[in-house]
Amino acid sequence: MDQICALFGLIWEDAEALKALAQLSNPRIVIDTGDLGQDAMIAANLFAQLLP
């Protein structure tokens, strides 16, 4: 996070606000396996179980 703030030249207050938002973030990755077959669906489900 510090490197991103430095890259964009954020001032201290904005950098702290961005860090606070990042702490609240809970991203979820969705993989569409509809056209890829059963093996792809199984692999995607295994990844979903392994990743926090």
Task: Identify the residue whose tokens are 């860090």.
Answer: 19
Q: What tokens does 51 get?
A: 């990743």
Burial class (CB in 10 A: 0-12, 13-18, 19+), 29: exposed
Supply the pLDDT for residue 46. 92
pLDDT tens for 19-50 read 898 888 887 878 888 899 999 999 999 988 88
Task: Please check whether residue 17 is in contact with residue 25, taking contact to mean a CB–CB distance below 8 angstroms.
Answer: no
Supply the pLDDT for residue 3. 86
Supply the pLDDT for residue 5. 81
Encode burial over 32-41: b for 16+ CB neighbours within 10 A, e otherwise.
eeeeeeeeee
Tell me the C-alpha distance between 25 and 17, whole Å.
Answer: 13
